Each structure stands twice: as C-alpha cells, then as structure tokens.
Amino acid sequence: MNTPDFIIVGAGSAGAALAYRLSADPSNRVLLLEAGPERHFWSDIPMGYARLLRNPQANWCYSSEAEAATDGRQLPVPRGRLLGGSSAINGLVFVRGQSHDYDTWAQLGNRGWSYDDVLPVFKRMESYAGGDDAFRGRSGPVKVTDPSSDDPLFQALIRAAGEVGIAHAEDYNGAVQDGISMSQATIYNGKRVSTAQSYLHPVRYRENLEIVTDAVTEQLLLDGKRCIGVRYRRGERTFEARANNEVILSAGSINSPQLLELSGIGQPGRLKALGIEVKHTLPGVGENLRDHYAPRTRWAIGAPRVAFNHRGRGLGLAAEISRYLLTGTGMIGMPAAPIRAFVRSREGLQAPDCLLGWVPLLYEPGNVVSEQSGVTCYAHPMRPESTGSVHIRSDDPHTPPAIRFNFLSSPPDVEVAVRAVRIARAIMTAPTMRALQTEELAPGSGRQSDAEILEWIKAAGETTYHPVGTCKMGQDERAVVDETLRVRGLAGLRVADASIMPTQISGNTNAPSIMIGEKASDLVLADVR
C-alpha cells in the first residue's frame, strides 16, 4: 500500500468498526495495526472465554496495583490482544447502557453524544430480530441474539425476582432498562460474533485496507503539534508508517493512554521523571479510570441437577461438548452471565443503579468449578464515581503500565455496593429459590451489618473487565479529547475507544465501544468530504 490516509492503532471493538467504515470508500487508504495475532481457537467458542482470560497468546494479561479497597490484592485486568480485541475474549454480553448515560455526556459539554444522537448509530451497527424498531436495528454487521430461557434455573430466577418486586424486562436495550431478563449476546449459530468476525473478515479483500497483525505500536510520531505517523515493531524489526490525514488510537483504556505518554503527551512532571521528552501537555492523560467492582456472591443449591455444575465435569461435560458440536447450543454456547437484572438500590431513583448477573455454576475462589451444585451472582453499582489512573512505569513500551482503580473511594459507591449485595440476597432467598434449597456460602449468613458486608466486598470483589475513561472526552482541563475525538491541542490525532467515555456506562462496555468506533467514522469522514 502507498502511504495510508488513516492509521488505526488497535483492531478491537472500536478499531475494527472504524476500519470497516473508513475503508468502505475506495479513495481512503487505511492501515490497521493490531498488536496480537489474527485469531485464537478458543475465541470462536462462546464459553472459550474462560480459557482466554489469562492466556497471553490472546490477552495482555495486565494486573492492577494492590490497594486497600481490594484488601491488598492485585486484580487481573484482561485485555484482548488479537483481531477483535476484547470483543474476542469477553463474556459476549451485549448491553448499550441507559439513555441517561449518554445524555450525561452531552450535558458535560459533548455535543453530538446524547442518547438521541447515538441511538441511530447503535441501530446501524446491530442485527437483532427482537425488540421495537424504534430502538433496534435489523441489518447491521453485529448479530445479537437472545439465549434460551427454557432452562428451569433461569425460569426460577425470573420468578424469584418477581417475588421481590423486580419485573421481567422485555428488552433492556430498548426503551427502558429496568428488570430481569436473559442476557442479549453477540452469539450467532453457536459462534462468537467478535468485531473481527462482523467487521474485518468480510472486508479483508478491500485493496485499500491493510491489516497488519503482531504489530506492537511503540510511539506516535510528532512534527511539532501534529501527529504524522507511528513507529511499530514486528518481531525484531521496527517500522515507521506515515499518515496523510490522521492517526486514530483505538488501543483501549489501558493502551491508549500508555501510548500517549510514551510519545511525550501527558503530565510533564510524570514524563520528565521517566526521561521522556515532553511534546505536549495534557494533564488528563491516564486519569479518570473507572470500572465496575463486583463481589461474587455464592449460593449452594440442594435440589438435584438444577444448577449446571454437573454439566461442567466428567460425563456431564462430555455430553455438553457433544451437544454443542451437534447443535451449537447448551452450556458451551452461552454467554458468561446468561441472566441479569437492572435494579434500583432504593426508592425514588429515576433509573436502575445496580446490576446483578448470574452464572449458572458455583465457582470456588479462583474461578474453579465447584464439585458442589449452585450459582454465582455478581452484584455491583453501575455508575461508579470512584476514579483511578493508568500511567506508564518506564519509557519501555513493553513494560505494563501501573493500573490503580481506587475502588470504593467515593462514599456513594460504598453504599450502593452494599445495597446490591442485599438485593442479591433478597432474590436468592425468595420463596421460589428457597424451594430449590439455596444456601448462602458467600458473603455468608453471618455477615449482616453494612460494615461486615463491606469488609467482604473488599476481600472478594473483582473488576468486571470494563475499564473506561482514561482519555476522557470533554471541555474541562482534564479532558483529553473534544467532542469530535480530536486530542486537544494536537492535529492529526484522535482517540476512539472506551477510554473517551467521561463516565461509566450502565452495563457492559463492548456495545458502547463499537458505537464509539462507528461514530468516530462519521466524524472523520465528515472532515474529509
């Protein structure tokens, strides 16, 4: 390829969508760089995500810093490192978030990002058979499906939620999010629908699109206050690529701020201390990190063969493998948490502020399938106010950055986290679930006070792998990009991934990240037409 017009760094949820749209015009030459390989065997199989969460062949395998809110533990921070990025290793759940989330972005000064603005983009990107046409798309690249709710355990959970006042949700990606329902998933015909599958594989033939895998971008190339290209490494060789128009970072909430800092863009004192020449001052780079911090409540079920644990071992597992190979269904073809509830932690709230998700297996600490039958239910605030940071430790691009979540530093997050656990308890001890002989294993019936529950949350909580916000969009002094996703004060450089989210989304972040890539393509193309 001749000199590309656009260089996209990262072929994940946003980057793949962006490459697809920009290269649709044959006059645009697009170079897409991905640090990882083309694909991984386990990525195509829905339950294969369990084999990818700590697999360095498809995952950056980051860890957070030890903090008081995590009881001194370092938490795994998996990030996808292959075509499709984290959409190729995630739990396959498709959640847009609430209209309130996007309206908040607009109220913060980000014109063009209200719910009314982004809804057409969501509709354009998806293909979903259910729901109201006013809210859902039917012909987009991303296929979204509803897992079957026929299993008795799922039916029991829905009934139990109804017994404590939580109604069944018809379509949580539609007009309202409230209630309990099966998780919509990026699964089609028993296979994962990553952005590699939906956006990249169908267009590999385009002569104006070059996809380079195993290419680790190490630095942005700047000419004064303009980004003119990138330096990247493949194996032992280093390459430079120049862009006629723009470089677009879609490397995600960990790697995008890392690359900015490695290129001399960020907080001057921090960069100088590492021997990096300051090219451009942006104090917000790497700040505003947000994620969902969730403890996993654990429940034994005495009624025989209700939960799925017997399907995850021995002859049961063999039967599930056969079922999946023949039909593409069953446990192996499910998303990570096939049933979820969006609930309000107290009366008077305008919208849900808690998320509960059920895994139909009882896990022991360390994510080991228990020999005992039961379920695992995570419960957490959806819009955390606590913020942390991502910053480089050295000028070596291959050194993992320091990830500090600062979980539970905001008092409202503490209050909602405790209430979320109590709501999980209410559902799991409702009459329908009691009839299944449920027994609380964690936090345990002995922990009843707020202080006791909070102590357990700190000892048992984990990230839900939804980091956002480290190159936030906005107008304040801590904003890294403006509403057009241009890096403030620099020409020829944008960021388009979950890092631009000024606040956290009410749910999983894959769908909003794809939307950001789609919308970024509109913004870029508007400037070149």
pLDDT tens per residue across span 264-295: 999 999 999 999 999 999 999 999 999 999 99
Q: How far is CA 363 from CA 36, 124, 300, 377, in A?
A: 30, 38, 10, 10
Residue 466: active-site member: yes
- Pairing of β 126-128 and β 142-144: parallel
CB 227 within 8 A of CB 475: no
Residue ranges covered by each domain of the chain: 6-61+71-528
Instruction: Tell me which of 529 and 101 has the higher pLDDT.
Output: 101
Per-residue pLDDT of 305-357, as tens digits, reads 899 888 877 888 888 889 998 998 889 999 999 999 999 999 999 999 999 99
Summarize the confidence of residues 163-176 as an average pLDDT: 95
Instruction: Tell me which of 187 and 309 has the higher pLDDT.
Output: 187
Q: Where are the alpha helices (DSSP H) in 48-127?
A: 99-107, 115-125
Which residue among the candidates 40, 310, 380, 466 is catalytic per the annotation?
Answer: 466
Q: Which CATH number fits domain 6-61+71-528: 3.50.50.60, 3.30.160.40, 3.30.420.40, 3.10.20.30?
A: 3.50.50.60
The end-to-end CA distance of the chain, in Å, is 22
- For residue 368, is pLDDT > 90? no
DSSP string, 354-390: EEEEEESS-EETTTEEPSS-EEEEEEEESS----EEE
Structure tokens at 483: 């509403």
The predicted structure's pLDDT at residue 310: 84
Per-residue pLDDT of 3-53, as tens digits, reads 999 999 999 999 999 999 999 999 999 999 999 999 999 999 999 999 999
The predicted structure's pLDDT at residue 173: 97
Q: Where are the alpha helices (DSSP H) in 55-131?
A: 99-107, 115-125
- For residue 446, is pLDDT > 80? yes
The predicted structure's pLDDT at residue 150: 84
The predicted structure's pLDDT at residue 149: 82
Range from 231-235, 282-286, 308-312, 465-469 carrying the lowest mean pLDDT: 308-312
Q: Where are the alpha helices (DSSP H) in 3-114?
A: 13-22, 99-107
Residue 425 C-alpha from the chain's centroid: 26
Per-residue pLDDT of 103-162, as tens digits, reads 999 999 999 999 999 999 999 999 999 888 999 999 999 999 998 888 999 999 999 999
Closest CA to 351 of 161, 178, 502: 178
List the beta strands (DSSP E) in 226-349: 226-234, 237-242, 246-249, 265-266, 280-281, 287-289, 293-294, 296-301, 339-343
Between CA 149 and CA 361 the distance in angstroms is: 16
Per-residue pLDDT of 413-427, as tens digits, reads 999 999 999 999 999
Structure tokens at 324: 């999946």
The predicted structure's pLDDT at residue 132: 86
CB 376 within 8 A of CB 382: no
Whether the predicted model's global pTM rises above the 0.95 cut: yes
- For residue 366, is pLDDT > 80? no
